[in-house]
Amino acid sequence: MADQYDFDVVVVGAGFAGLYALYKLRNDLNMRVRVYETGDGVGGTWYWNRYPGARCDSESYYYCYSFSPELAQEWKWSGRYPEQPEIERYLNHVADRFDLRRDIQLSTRVTAATFDDAANRWEIQTDRNDTVTARYLVTAVGCLSAPNMPDIPGMDDFEGDVYFTATWPREPVNFTGKRVGLVGTGSSGIQATPEIAAQAAHLTVFQRTPNFSLPARHRAFLSEDQAKIKANYDEIFALTRESFAGFPFHPIDRKTMSVTTDERREILEGLWAEGGFKFLWGGFIDLLRDDEANEIASEFIRSKIRETVNDPQTAELLCPQGYPYGAKRPPIDTDYYETFNRENVTLVDISEAPIEVITPTGLRTTMAEYEFDAIVFATGFDAITGALLRIDIRGTGDVRLADAWSDGPRTLLGLQVTGFPNMFTITGPGSPSVLLNMPVAIEHHVDWIADCLEYMRERGWTRIEATEEAQDAWAEHVADLGEQSLFVRANSWYVGANIPGKPRVVLPYTGGQPMYRERCTAVKDSGYEGFVFGGSLDQNAMLAAKKA
Ligand code: N01
C-alpha cells in the first residue's frame, strides 16, 4: 500500500499553475501528487485579489487553459475581461471537472522543504504540522502573490480600517460615506480607484510614480462573439504559443517612423480605440526597441491623459515622465483618468513628499496631514522570487535558496536551480513568466516538466539537477538580454526595485516567447543538455528496504 505521507510530487499552490500541474502529472503520468494551498479555496492570485474592480487585463478567451478543447468549448466567458469572481468560478469549475480536489489540501501553507541528498527526495513541512516526502517538488507559487506590505512607521496605530488589495477580505467592503486614502497607482490601485470613488464620501489617491494606463474597453460578449471564439479556438491558441508575449496577435510589420505622421496618428488612434494590450503587443514593431518610437507612443498616451482630465495640474501629475512606456508593467483601466474629474477625488503626489507616518486618524506626508476612515494599500508584490523565498527551501548541503540567491536569482531556463535537485519552478525567475500571457507560460512549463519526468521514468532515474556551468550560461544570457532591455530604465517590480534591499536584476527572461521555447525544446531534444541525471529505482528500493 502506498505510504500516505509519501508522494511522487508535491505541488505548492493551487492557482492556474498548480491546478494544471496536478492534472497533468496525475492524469497523464499517473503520479501520486499532493497539492498544498494556503487559501481556503483554489485560485491562487485569483482567490486573494478580490479588491473592488479586480479584473483580468488580458482577454478572457485566451487568459485560460488550452489543454482541454472540451473545456474551452464548454466554458462561456461573459465578456472581454473577466472580473475576479468569474475567473475564480472558472478555476473552481476546472477543479471539479477534472476531479482535482481530492489531491488538494487547502488552508495549508508550505513552510519548509529540505532535500535529502541520500534518498533523492524532498521533505516538506506545512503550518499544519504535516511532514511529507516527495520525489519531486514543483513550485506553483505565482509570480505576483507575495504581498508587499510597506514598512511605514505607525502602521499598527491607525484606528480606522486597513485593507491590502492583495489580501482583500471575502466579505464585501462598503465605503459608503467614508473618507478613504489609497496608496499605490499600479494595476491594482488603478482598477480599484474608480470603484472606490463611486462609493466613498471622498477618495484621496497617493501617487509615487504615474503609470501609462490604457483603456480596457470592456464589453459583454454577444452570442456571436462566443460562437466566433469557439469556432477559432485552435488558431487562437496556436497564435498564443507563437507570438512574442503569448497574445493571439503579432505587432504590425511596420516601424513607427516608416509611415507618415497622419498614418501614424491613425494607427495609434485605432489601437487606442480598440483598447487593451493591442497597443503594447500589437502596435508598431519597434515600440519597445527604439527610443524615438517609444517616445511617440508615450506622448500619444500623455495627450490622451491631458484630453481626459479637466484640471491641467492634475493631468500633468498623472502624466508619466522620465521612463519609457512599457518599462513598468502598463495597467489597463476602465475610467481611471475620468475618475479624477469627480468632485470627491483628490490626487496627491508623494514623489517629493513621501508618506512619513501612519497616524491614529490617517497619515502624514512630509508636507501635510490627512484624515481617513479607511486606508487601502495597493502596494504590489515582492514579485517573482518573493513567494519562493518565503518558504525555507534547502537544497544539497543544507544550502538555503535565500542564500543561493542573495545576489539575485540564478536558474536554468527558470525551471531549475543548481544545488536544488528534483525541484522545478513553474514560471520561475529567468523564464518569460510575467512578460507572457500567464496561462500560456504556465502550460508550457508544466508540459516541459511532465516530458522531463516521463523521460526520467523511462530510464529509471530518480534525480535531476541543473549543472552549474549550464546555469551560469543561462543566467548570463538572461542578464545580458535584460541589461539591453528597456526594463532597466524604470524602478519597478520587474527589477525588484519596489522592495527595499532586493538585488536589482531584471527578473524575467526578456528575449520573448519564440526564442525561449526554441531553447527549451532544444534542451529537451538533446536529452536535457545542461542537466545531470542520477539515482535509480533499484537504489531507492534498497534504501526503502533498509529504512523498513
Ligand atoms: O503593484 P505595483 P500592483 N509608498 O507594484 C506604490 C499584476 N496585476 O498590485 O511605482 C508609496 O504595480 C508603487 O509606487 P512606485 C500586474 O502584472 C494584474 O498594482 O513603486 N507608494 C506603485 O504605484 C501588475 O503590474 C492585474 O513608485 C508605494 C504601487 O504602490 C502587478 O500585478 C491586476 C509604496 C504598486 O504598484 C502588480 O500590480 C492587478 C510606498 N511605500 C495586478 N510601495 C490584472 O490583470 C509601493 N508603492 C487585472
Of 412, 385, 431, nearest to 475 by C-alpha is 412
Dihedral pair phi/psi, residue 122, rounded to 5°? -100, 140
Residue 138 contacts residue 26 (beta carbons within 8 Å): no
Residue with cell 514623489: 351
pLDDT at 15: 98
Rounded Cα–Cα distance for residues 39 and 194 (Å): 28
pLDDT at 530: 98
Nearest ligand 1 atom, CA 57 = 45
pLDDT in tens, the chain (548 residues): 467 899 999 999 999 999 999 999 999 999 999 999 999 999 999 999 999 999 999 999 999 999 999 999 999 999 999 999 999 999 999 999 999 999 999 999 999 999 999 999 999 999 999 999 999 999 999 999 999 999 999 999 999 999 999 999 999 999 999 999 999 999 999 999 999 999 999 999 999 999 999 999 999 999 999 999 999 999 999 999 999 999 999 999 999 999 999 999 999 999 999 999 999 999 999 999 999 999 999 999 999 999 999 999 999 999 999 999 999 999 999 999 999 999 999 999 999 999 999 999 999 999 999 999 999 999 999 999 999 999 999 999 999 999 999 999 999 999 999 999 999 999 999 999 999 999 999 999 999 999 999 999 999 999 999 999 999 999 999 999 999 999 999 999 999 999 999 999 999 999 999 999 999 999 999 999 999 999 886 665 555 555 55
458 CB-contact burial (10 Å; exposed 0-12 / middle 13-18 / buried 19+) = exposed
pLDDT at 536: 81
345 CB-contact burial (10 Å; exposed 0-12 / middle 13-18 / buried 19+) = buried
Distance 221 CA to ligand 1 centre (A): 29
Of 369, 422, 336, 354, nearest to 113 by C-alpha is 422
Of 198, 192, 224, 201, nearest to 84 by C-alpha is 192
Distance 479 CA to ligand 1 centre (A): 24
pLDDT at 19: 99
Which of 63, 83, 208, 436 to mutate for ligand 1's pocket (most ligand atoms within 8 Å of CB)?
A: 208
Nearest-CA residue for ligand 1 atom 36 is: 186
Of 506, 544, 545, nearest to 135 by C-alpha is 544
- Residue 544: CB atoms within 10 Å: 12
pTM: 0.96
Q: Which helix (H) or strand (E) holds 299?
A: helix 291-308
Ligand 1 surroundings by CB, under 6 angstroms: 55-57, 144, 150, 165, 183-189, 191, 208-209, 329, 350, 355, 378-381, 434, 491, 493, 498
pLDDT at 386: 98
pLDDT at 541: 55
Nearest ligand 1 atom, CA 166 = 9
Rounded Cα–Cα distance for residues 253 and 208 (Å): 36
Which of 64, 188, 211 to mutate for ligand 1's pocket (most ligand atoms within 8 Å of CB)?
A: 188
Which of 49, 144, 204 to mutate for ligand 1's pocket (most ligand atoms within 8 Å of CB)?
A: 144
